[in-house]
Structure formats: structure tokens, C-alpha cells
Amino acid sequence: MSSLKIRINAKFLVLALFSLIISVIASNAVFSHGNEPDLHDMESKEMQSNNISEYIQSTSVSYILTALFIAGILVLFSLLHRQKTEKMKIFLFFGIAIPIVAATFYLAASTIYLNQISETKGPVHWHADYEIYVCNKKIELLKPKGFSNSVGIPLFHEHDDNRIHVEGVVTNIKDVSLHNFFEAVNGYLEEDKMGIPTDYGFEEAKNSELCGEKSGKLQVFLYKIRNPKDAKSWIYEQIKLGDFENYVLAPYSQVPPGDCIIIEFGEDKEKTENMCSTYKAAIERGELNGD
């Protein structure tokens, strides 16, 4: 009689847990459709790719956690009931295996799909160095807090090194614009103003505000390598960017040939005397020259 109860309880538990994973998957699907904008109302391809990427990332985490939870419960159940019938063993085996295999398959398939639809056709690791000056004073982004070694999001962040990091699959190249980097670190960058969190508060600057006695203006200067393939014989040029908030950094992992971006709020000018330390070091080594 007791063995019959155990068999019934085992079957009931496995069925209940399978119902749980199906419910989680269904709820994720419903939730995503409930928050998806109508495709006819989307203003750009960028919005579509962002939604797809965010949905896949969030559901992947949900499915993996659910699979681990189910496997953990069944393993615990198996340990507590050492005398198991063959049917119970089969239920436990498939109860553990199916959720894990399903979650793994979903993760692999979604990764392949993201790689296919991404503009970079797979994960990238790009870097660009940057410096920020407000009224000739260098401004540093706040340092990472707690256990984190970065500020920003997994795709777009900084490691307390004055370097912009792009790490992952870029579904739309506009996702890694200068504007979006500032948003990723909880700041903002627009045509006429900017704001950035620092260890001493939130630093802001807006066109027409004074730097000393002179009117200030937000400007961005770019040091760009003209011949990136000629390693250690690079030639750079300095450009004053117009539509700077939408600028996307050059696709290189090393700096140089990756970009050096100088963001300044101060007197209007055509060139800057400031330069990233990596570019200065490359010049001193004889690996980099101006045009």
C-alpha cells in the first residue's frame, strides 16, 4: 500500500512540475506579446531588433532557471525516496532530462538565431577610449560598485578604464552609438547637453552655460586611424563630429586602431589639444603619427 502511494505521489509530482514549466513558457510568451508594439506601428528596424534581442535574453534566463529548479526538486525527491520502482525511475529520469535538454536547446537555437539576424553576424569585442572635459576639468565616470567590475550593461559598458567596451551580439549597429553608451551608464548625451554620473554626483552641462566668463558648447572630437591594417605604422586624423550622439565606434578590439573620443564642454573650437593616453603612448613608441 505504501509503495502504491509513493508511485502515485511520484507521478503526481512529475506531472505537476511539467505543468509548471509549460506554464512558465506560456506566461513568457503571453507577456512578450502583451508588451510587443504592433509591427505596423514600429518606426524603425532598430526597435524590432531591440525587442527581439531583449525577449530572447529574458526568456533564456527564465527557461534555464526553471529547468534548474525542476531538476533540483526531482533530485531532492530522488534522494528522499531511495526505494524506487522502474516506472518511478523513468519518470525521474525524464523529469530531470527533458527540462534541461529543452532549455539548452532553446539557448543554443536562440544564440544561432541572434547571430543570424545581427548586423555583426555574431559576437564582437570592440573598444574605444574616451575622455570627458567640462570647462577644462577632466570628468571621470563613477567607479563600479559592489561585486560588479563594470558600469553599464553586458553589451555596452566601462571597466573604470576610460574605455568603451562593446561585448556581445549587436543586432543593430545603432545600438552601440555614443548616445546609447551614455544611456547604458545612466547618463545622457544629446546635441546640446550631456549628463554623467560620477563619484561626486551627477555632472551636467548644457549649451550656453558659462565656462568662466565665456559661453560653453558641447563638442566631440574624434581621433581616427586612417590605415588600420598597417599595424604600428598608423596615421591618425582628428575630426570634429557633427552628429556626434549617433556616432558608432570603429570595430576594433585594440586602441589604436580603435577610436579615441574626446568629449568637451567649453569654448567653441575646431580642434582639441586633448588626446587619449593610449594614443599618446603609441606616438611615443613610434607606432602612430598625425596626418
pLDDT computed for residue 178 by the predictor: 98
pLDDT computed for residue 168 by the predictor: 86
Shared-domain flag, residues 86 and 180: no
Q: How far apart are CA 178 and CA 262, in angstroms?
A: 12
Last residue of a domain, one of 68, 102, 117: 117
Shared-domain flag, residues 111 and 179: no
Shared-domain flag, residues 12 and 133: no
pLDDT computed for residue 6 by the predictor: 45
Domain that holds residue 41: 2-117
Shared-domain flag, residues 107 and 130: no
Q: How far is CA 79 from the centre of its chain?
A: 40
> Which of 138, 124, 144, 219 shows the shortest CA–CA distance to 178?
219
pLDDT computed for residue 190 by the predictor: 97
Q: How far apart are CA 255 and CA 129, in angstroms?
A: 7
Shared-domain flag, residues 152 and 281: yes
Half-sphere exposure of 112 (CA within 13 A, CB side): 6
Type of residue at 263: I
Shared-domain flag, residues 159 and 187: yes
Shared-domain flag, residues 108 and 187: no
pLDDT computed for residue 70 by the predictor: 84
> Which of 25, 111, 102 shows the shortest CA–CA distance to 71?
102
Q: How far apart are CA 114 and CA 179, in angstroms?
A: 23
The overall pTM is greater than 0.75: no
Distances (CA, A) of 88 to 2, 7, 98, 141: 14, 6, 15, 57
pLDDT < 70 regions, the chain = 1-54, 57-58, 115, 117-118
> Which of 219, 199, 242, 211 shows the shortest CA–CA distance to 136?
211
Shared-domain flag, residues 41 and 161: no
Shared-domain flag, residues 206 and 229: yes
Shared-domain flag, residues 275 and 234: yes
Q: How far apart are CA 217 and CA 264, in angstroms?
A: 8
Number of domains comprising the chain: 2
